[in-house]
């Protein structure tokens, strides 16, 4: 008996036996008929599948051939020795060929473990084929990515394997955005921090192509060989993550509470409160929670967690909090926790909160941003992220010693990414100092001759009626002007008026369909020697046709009048007849 069969027999001692649903695909060593180690037979040989790039697409193909439902997740068992396995060609599988037609012989210690629901076999189970992560070695990843030397499998020095070689990553511009890709491929939570480990001498490393990573390609497909003494050290959250958000600090909350099956679950809004949110935001290296509301970031894709958290607010991780079983049996998909944490960014050492050295925090470690030849357009983007209006100046402040700061990419800033996602560690002695206008945001509102006034985001006016859009701002500087910007699907216009008593009013004497669109107020002011501006939120105006309402207003009373007249005539005619005794009885009744 060869080593392969011996290992398979050992792994299957607790199982009922192999599930051989076809002549060439089977699952062995599992706890159900559609679960276990995936084996294929080709040329008369049964071998386990050991492809290190096993994906959900391939899992779906396996589950389909096993008549066991659709794929949900992917997992692995790590054996102590490499053994003969089948490795799959992804393009072949995706083109619809049978699995046995897409394999080649190889060697691996990573064996695919499949769980299928068996819906088509029993008719009672949900249509899902789950491949669950079971890592005997916490450093192992199916994507040839691992973290070593950290306190958990989701923290440590980042290493990639390519062409059979494990090497550390030494990219000098490794950012938190790239870290998030590594965390995802490791099936860890959200990216929390990135740092450098300095070695005494240069060593062989992998360097990543940034554009390749941003296009969603696997990390190991984006590396080239190089040398460096600066090694990337990353930190991912172990058991919480935010998904489908607009940044790493926002999204729908998912928790991995059971480390044995490695599955992610959403949390019901009723089982989560503000103190729980404070712990999650701290665990993810973000600022304080700013928005906590269900269904903010899409429908639930993961199962719901039946656990109520009871955090005190000072815990370092959500799973450190006390918890209890939830009283509910179900939770509406629209009640899954959506969380937005503030970005950990500030200006310090200036005359106001909108002036000073720019600093960003990672897990409570505040560090300044490296000074670079910043354009005023970049500085204005940074000021807007700080909610401080426009940039008045950008300069440098020199430190006495070189220290590790944050380097930022101008392209990343101009692309609209939040500042934290553009950072990379960098040793330097000059930090970026900003002075922002701290200009308040203008207020926009609309009033109509027939509909009153409103500050809501949407307003409807009747065609032909007059309406006025007003712009105002809290007093800070004298003078200035307001520009009313209008955009529609077919045109764009700008109207300008001087600010009188910090406000301006734009009159539209007769509403027409051409006035339907979005309006915003932009306040411009000159404070020697700078010009700066601030923009309001957008207001949407729609124009309705009053003719429809007039017709309804006339037709409905007329219809009621005619109906009443007909009923009156009918009753009068009925009284003129001599009803029978039975007729009298029915009428009295």
Q: Do domains 3-130 and 345-436 have the same CATH topology?
A: yes
Matching CATH number, 145-236, of 3.20.20.70, 3.10.250.10, 3.40.1410.10, 3.40.50.2000 = 3.10.250.10
Residues of the chain predicted below pLDDT 50: 1-21, 80, 122-142, 577-589
Q: Does domain 345-436 have CATH number 3.10.250.10?
A: yes
Q: Which pLDDT score, from 0 to 100, does residue 421 have? A: 84
CA–CA dist 489, 478 (Å, integer): 36
Q: Which of 200, 206, 130, 129 is nearest to 161 (CA)?
A: 206
- CATH of segment(s) 3-130: 3.10.250.10
Q: Which CATH superfamily groups domain 443-544?
A: Immunoglobulins (2.60.40.10)
Domain ranges of the chain: 3-130, 145-236, 240-341, 345-436, 443-544, 550-589
Q: Which pLDDT score, from 0 to 100, does residue 129 have? A: 43
Secondary structure string (H, E, C) spanning 197-261: EEEEEEEEEEEECHHHHHCCCCHHHHEEEEEEEEEEEEEECCCEEEEECCCCCEEEEEECCCCCC
Contacts of 276 (CB under 8 A, 6+ apart): 309, 311, 318, 321
Q: Which pLDDT score, from 0 to 100, does residue 136 have? A: 31
Q: Could you tell me how many residues make up the chain?
A: 589
CA–CA dist 58, 28 (Å, integer): 18
36: left (phi over 0), alpha (psi -120 to 50) or beta: left
CA–CA dist 227, 236 (Å, integer): 25
pLDDT digits (tens, 9 = 90+) for 131-165: 333 333 333 344 578 999 998 889 999 998 887 78
Q: Which pLDDT score, from 0 to 100, does residue 155 have? A: 93
Architecture per CATH, domain 240-341, reads as: Roll (3.10)
């Amino acid at each position: 008996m060869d080593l392969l069969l011996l290992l398979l027999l050992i792994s299957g001692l607790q199982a009922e036996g192999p599930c051989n649903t076809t002549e060439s695909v089977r699952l062995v060593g599992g706890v159900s008929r559609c679960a276990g180690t995936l084996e294929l037979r080709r040329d008369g040989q049964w071998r386990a599948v050991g492809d290190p790039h096993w994906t959900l697409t391939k899992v779906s193909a396996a589950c389909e051939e096993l008549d066991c439902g659709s794929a949900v997740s992917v997992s692995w068992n790590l054996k102590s020795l490499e053994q003969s396995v089948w490795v799959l060609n992804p393009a072949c599988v995706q083109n619809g060929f049978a699995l046995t037609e897409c394999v080649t012989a190889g060697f691996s210690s990573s064996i695919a473990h499949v769980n299928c629901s068996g819906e088509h076999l029993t008719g009672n189970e949900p249509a899902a084929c789950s491949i669950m992560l079971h890592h005997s070695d916490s450093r192992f990843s199916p994507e040839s990515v691992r973290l070593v030397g950290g306190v958990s499998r989701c923290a440590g020095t980042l290493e990639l394997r390519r062409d059979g070689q494990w090497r550390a990553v030494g990219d000098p511009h490794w950012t938190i955005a790239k870290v998030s890709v590594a965390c995802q491929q490791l099936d860890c939570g959200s990216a929390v921090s990135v740092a450098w480990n300095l070695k005494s001498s240069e060593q062989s490393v992998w360097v990543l192509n940034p554009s390749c990573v941003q296009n969603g390609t696997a990390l190991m497909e984006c590396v080239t060989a190089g040398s460096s003494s600066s090694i990337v050290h990353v930190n991912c959250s172990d058991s919480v993550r935010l998904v489908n958000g607009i940044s790493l600090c926002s999204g729908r909350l998912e928790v991995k509470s059971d480390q044995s099956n490695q599955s992610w679950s959403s949390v019901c809004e009723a089982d989560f409160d503000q103190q729980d949110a404070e712990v999650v935001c701290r665990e993810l290296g973000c600022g304080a929670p700013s928005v906590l509301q269900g269904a903010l970031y899409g429908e639930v894709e993961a199962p719901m967690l039946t656990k109520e958290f009871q955090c005190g607010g000072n815990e370092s991780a959500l799973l450190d909090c006390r918890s209890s079983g939830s009283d509910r049996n179900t939770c509406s998909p629209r009640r899954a926790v959506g969380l937005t944490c503030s970005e950990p960014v500030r200006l310090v050492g200036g005359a106001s909160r909108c002036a000073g050295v720019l600093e960003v925090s990672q897990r409570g470690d505040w560090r300044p941003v490296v000074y670079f030849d910043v354009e005023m357009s970049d500085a204005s983007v940074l000021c807007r992220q700080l909610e401080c209006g426009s940039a008045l100046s950008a300069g440098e402040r020199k430190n006495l010693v070189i220290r590790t700061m944050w380097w930022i990419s101008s392209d990343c800033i101009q692309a609209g990414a939040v500042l934290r996602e553009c950072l990379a560690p960098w040793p330097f002695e000059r930090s970026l100092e900003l002075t922002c206008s701290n200009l308040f945001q203008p207020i926009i509102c609309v009033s109509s001759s027939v509909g009153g006034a409103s500050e809501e985001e949407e307003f409807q006016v009747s065609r032909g009626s007059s309406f006025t859009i007003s712009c105002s701002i809290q007093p800070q500087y004298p003078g200035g002007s307001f520009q009313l910007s209008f955009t529609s699907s077919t045109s764009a216009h700008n109207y300008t008026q001087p600010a009188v008593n910090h406000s301006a009013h734009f009159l539209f004497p007769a509403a027409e369909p051409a006035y339907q669109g979005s309006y915003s107020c932009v306040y411009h002011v000159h404070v020697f020697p700078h010009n700066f501006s601030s923009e309001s939120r957008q207001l949407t105006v729609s124009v309705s046709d009053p003719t429809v309402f007039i017709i309804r207003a006339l037709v409905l009373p007329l219809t009621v009048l005619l109906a009443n007249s007909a009923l009156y005539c009918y009753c009068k005619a009925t009284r003129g007849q001599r009803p029978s005794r039975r007729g009298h009885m029915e009428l009295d009744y």
